[in-house]
Amino acid sequence: MAADLPPDLGDSVVVLTVQGLDELVTRLSALGYEVKGPTRGESAIVPGSVKSSDDLPRGVHDVQSPGSYRIVHNDDDEELFGWAVGPESWKKEYFPSSQVMWRGEVVGDTVVFRQPDRSHTPLAIVGARPCEVVALRILDRVLEEGVHRDARYSDRRDSSFIAVVECASPADTCFCASMQSGPGIDQGFDVALTELNDEHGHRFIARSGSPRGADVLSSVPTRPANELDLEARTLLLETASRAMSRSLPYGEVANLLARNVDHPRWTEVAERCLSCGNCTSVCPTCFCSDVHDTTDVGGAIERRRTWSSCFDLEHSYLHGGSVHESSASRYRQWMTHKLSTWWDQFDSTGCVGCGRCIVWCPVGIDITEEVAAIAARDEVRVGVPSRRGAS
């Protein structure tokens, strides 16, 4: 994603101190938002309640590799955002892993249906990552902008405030730069922050991305950004981009996978894949769900929607059997949907390069390595229709 700023900045880019960030959090609370952000959990950075910068993971860094995640703490570090992404994305705030669709009750000889209460406290996220904001925009296309609008999702998305923090410390498993979803960001947020901590002090470059973001920024103490601030931001984002050793061929991967549906690599990866579904649980764009009805002897009825996974055998169950019976076909379904057929359905990629599926795969299967393996033995066929997104 483009990270350059326009040359004529005027007063549109400002600088906040850490105290200014505290005031921004206080302002959001005063406006009635429930403020959440990244916090230090027992062994991971997890979403939590944020009342001030003291709740953010100061001095915490993450070490991520295929099948491995740990956090380390350095008391000498002042950075609040010196890490990449935690295991949980912000998806669950809008699309919970389990939610009641409706309840019913048998009254006499009829059933009375009740919609769950959709009232909620608006959410403000302080510290979402660019890749996570892009992932939410992808989910918007599915759950808010499609034919079947998810009212609960829409209510929460439309009322929420997003303060994104650009990424200076990508993990070894990140590849957002190649997916045009980081480490900088220029749309999809209310406020965008870039944390700088150098000889000129610990501070945040701040930009508004919406009228409500501009309102909030104008209510906290700031100063205009100067050339030194902007150069520091540019250098920070360039360094972060260069630090990513993994990548995907953004403009080519859709066609590559479309013409390699019978590639031997699908069988090879299936020998390692446990079909556990961890990759889909942690993915910020996976949206498959299942619906369960329960009744009790007293006549109470409940319909609940829960996250589902294309790695479940039942997920593709049709007319007495599963369409995707083998692990190879399930893995292929997952990866080709993410990177290829998503373009046909939603006119975008389904992957933002956060690397969670690599980190949280118990056997360390790496989506970038799998694409590279397929590309290395590309079985080019004539007549395969072009996928959108191909350059």
Q: Residue from 182, 277, 329, 333 that binds ligand SF4 (CB under 6 A)?
A: 277
311 belongs to the binding site for ligand SF4 (CB under 6 A): yes
The nearer residue to ligand SF4, 258 or 354, going by C-beta atoms, is 354
Q: Minimal distance in Å, beta carbon 357 to ligand SF4?
A: 3
Give whichever of 332 and 356 is closer to ligand SF4, judged by the CB atom.
Answer: 356
Selected range binding ligand SF4 among 8-16, 198-206, 215-223, 279-287, rule: CB under 6 A: 279-287
Displacement of CA 49 from its chain's centroid (Å): 19
Q: How far is the CB of 248 from ligand SF4 (least distance, A)?
A: 9
Half-sphere exposure of 124 (CA within 13 A, CB side): 22
Q: CB of 342: closest distance to ligand SF4 in angstroms?
A: 10
Which residues is 292 bridged to in the sheet?
304
Decide whether 20 or 389 has the Cβ nearer to ligand SF4.
389
Which H, E and C letters describe the chain, residue by residue?
Answer: CCCCCCCCCCCCEEEEEHHHHHHHHHHHHHCCCEEEEEEECCCCEEEEECCCHHHCCCCEEEEEECCEEEEEECCCCCCCCCCCCCCCCCHHHHCCCEEEEEEEEEECCEEEEECCCCCCCCEEEEEECHHHHHHHHHHHHHHCCCCCCCHHHHHHHHHCEEEEECCCCCCCCCCHHHHCCCCCCCCCCCEEEEEEEECCEEEEEEEECCHHHHHHHHCCCCEECCHHHHHHHHHHHHHHHHHCCCCCCCCCHHHHHHCCCCCCHHHHHHCCCCCCCHHHHHCCCCCCEEEEEEECCCCEEEEEEEECCCCCHHHHEECCEECCCCHHHHHHHHHHHHHHHHHHHHCCCCCCCCCHHHHCCCCCCCHHHHHHHHHHCCCCCCCCCCCCCCC
- Work out whether the CA dihedral 238, 141, 136, 160 comes out positive or negative: positive
Residues that bind ligand SF4 (rule: CB under 6 A) add up to a total of 25
CB of 365 to ligand SF4, least distance (A): 4
Q: Toward ligand SF4, which CB reaches closer, 124 or 248?
A: 248
Residue 356 binding ligand SF4, by CB under 6 A: yes
Which x/- pattern, by CB under 6 A, does the window 236-275 give for ligand SF4?
-------------------------------------xxx
Q: Which of 363, 378, 379, 384 binds ligand SF4 (CB under 6 A)?
A: 363
Contact flag: residue 162 with ligand SF4 (CB under 6 A): no
Query: Of these, 47, 284, 287, 336, which contacts ligand SF4 (CB under 6 A)?
Result: 284
Shortest Å distance, C-beta 91 to ligand SF4 = 10
Nearer to ligand SF4, 266 or 311 (CB): 311
Q: Which stretch binds ligand SF4 (CB under 6 A): 16-24, 110-118, 297-305, 354-362?
A: 354-362
Least distance between ligand SF4 and beta carbon 135 (Å)? 6
Member of 45, 126, 279, 371 binding ligand SF4 (CB under 6 A): 279
Indicate which single residue of 5, 101, 276, 390 sits in contact with ligand SF4 (rule: CB under 6 A).
276
Tell me: does residue 183 bind ligand SF4 (CB under 6 A). Answer: no
Q: How far is the CB of 195 from ligand SF4 (least distance, A)?
A: 22
Lookup: tokens for 363? 């056997």
Positions that interact with ligand SF4 (CB under 6 A): 273-279, 282-285, 311, 338, 351-357, 361-363, 365, 367
